[in-house]
Structure 1
Amino acid sequence: MLALCVTVVLLSAGAIQTAPLTCEDLIRPLDLSELHLNQTLGKWINVAESSEHLPYIKTNSAWIDVSISASNTSQNNTFDIALFAFSEIKQACFRFNSTYTLHDNGKLTCEFPVPAVLVLLSTCSDCLLANESFTINGTTYRSLELWTRTREVVVDLDLFMKQAACLRLPPVAVIDAQKELCPDTI
């Protein structure tokens, strides 16, 4: 009798299906006031992205270092990002620094190297998912970038592709994990 009850319970549990995630669920912005600063600081490696501006896609390797500079320690809403990326055109690594300002606990803005607005979206626990719009020569483009702490993190790329589709962005480019990352001493 007990075995029959357990079997019925297990079969019933297996029949329960969760509702599929809607686009609203998939592209919900994070409330950055709920994040601890330590969760976003440090090194993040680009693993996949989708962009309307094709030259913007970093198909070789890129990583960022998120930090708070000494001049920004009194401002909780401002932090620095250094981007390290390999340029296929120049066959060399490059670096540039940007200072982002947090607005309304959800939107980050910067002016250099191009005006940009960045919104972090919900994603895996050890990932950053950035929905970004940026302006180059008067034209605004959008991109979706997935960053992880290490390349070994198992990422649900199907979920990322659905998120890019919800934003009506081009097909996703997955970054080659075998490519060497640029050094931090450029």
Structure 2
Amino acid sequence: MMMEVVYVAVAALSLLSVGQSAPVTSCETLIQPVVIQGRDQLLGKWIYIAESTTFPGSRLLTDRFLESGWGKTTAANESDAINHYQVQKMFGRCFSVRTKLTLQNSTLYMVKPYSSAVTLLNTGCFDCLVFHSRFTLGGSTYIGLQLLSRRSGVSVAEKEEFIKQVECLNLPAAAFMDPEKGLCPDDSLAEESETTDLSSAIEDMSSKVLSVLGDIANSEGGMETLIKQISRGRA
């Protein structure tokens, strides 16, 4: 049960997650929202490169348990909605989550497994998206920033630009994924898959689990204690 909570928690927290050819340098430019002309620019496969959030212990969870991740966005039946299929590698295993988001006035809204609003920020990375999110867990609101790319790795300059964006927004230091650990395969259309689908688990457990997770995260030393217990359980 404890490991299922961890899988769901890490997967849920990372749900949140194309411009010029030269790096952007000023904070004023780096935190400038980008107008989303339509959902087409969001469609396709995206590799998770890095993220930063004000959620306590988020970097510890990412650094300790999340090896790599990618997502595939497709058009939903509704003209203002998109479907997101996300796959993460944790503990050498693959886990997937399916969610649905609605696009309104250049903002992506998600209701389940938790409430969030996501906008795009300016970036000099030619094939990247930078998601700036505001999400609510357990009655508390947090801010997040996530870098996604069509590539499995970005340049040093592109990493530095994202780090600068994090600093401009006064967010905690970013956690970077490790592309050398490989990406999970795309089993979204396969009849049989080695990828474990967590969508139902998140749907059933999200309210209670994420509320408890929020309480743990906001308690002094809560996340460190939880991670130590999990690590001992896997030893």
Instruction: Output aligned runs, 1:1-186, within 5 Å.
Output: 21-33=25-37, 37=40, 39-53=41-55, 54-55=57-58, 57=62, 59-69=66-76, 71-72=77-78, 75=79, 77-88=80-91, 92-104=93-105, 106-123=106-123, 124-154=125-155, 156-185=158-187, 186=195
Name the aligned partner's letter for residue 62 of structure 2: I
Higher strand share: 1
Q: Residue deviations 1:115-161, cap 9 Å, x none?
A: 11111111112001111122222222211110011214436111111
**Deviation per residue, 1:30-77 (Å, 9 max, x gap):** 1002x671x3211100111112223363741111101013x23xx1x2
Structure 1 residues 127 and 177: CA distance shift in structure 2, 3 A: same
Shift of the 87–136 alpha-carbon distance from structure 1 to 2, 3 Å rule, reads: farther
Instruction: Provide structure 1 residue ranges, at least 5 long, that are not aligned to the other structure.
Output: 1-19
How much does 1:96 deviate? Answer: 1.3
How many Å separate the matches in 1 of 2:154 and 2:165? 19
**Distance change in 2, residues 1:93/1:170 (3 Å):** same
Structure 2 length as normaliser, TM-score? 0.61
Count of residues paired in the alignment: 158
Identity score, percent? 33
Q: Is the 8 A contact 1:50 1:57 kept in 2?
A: no
Partners of 1:27 and 1:166 within 8 A in 2: yes
SS in 2 for 1:156: helix
Return the structure number with greater helix share: 2
Name the CA shift for 1:95/1:102 in 2 (closer, same or farther; >3 Å). Answer: same
Residue 8 (structure 1) aligns with? none
Native 8 Å contact 1:51 1:57 kept in 2: no
Compute the RMSD of aligned alpha carbons: 2.1
Q: Distance in 2 between matches of 1:113 and 1:86?
A: 20
For structure 2, the residue ranges without an aligned partner over 5 or more in a row are 1-23, 188-194, 196-235
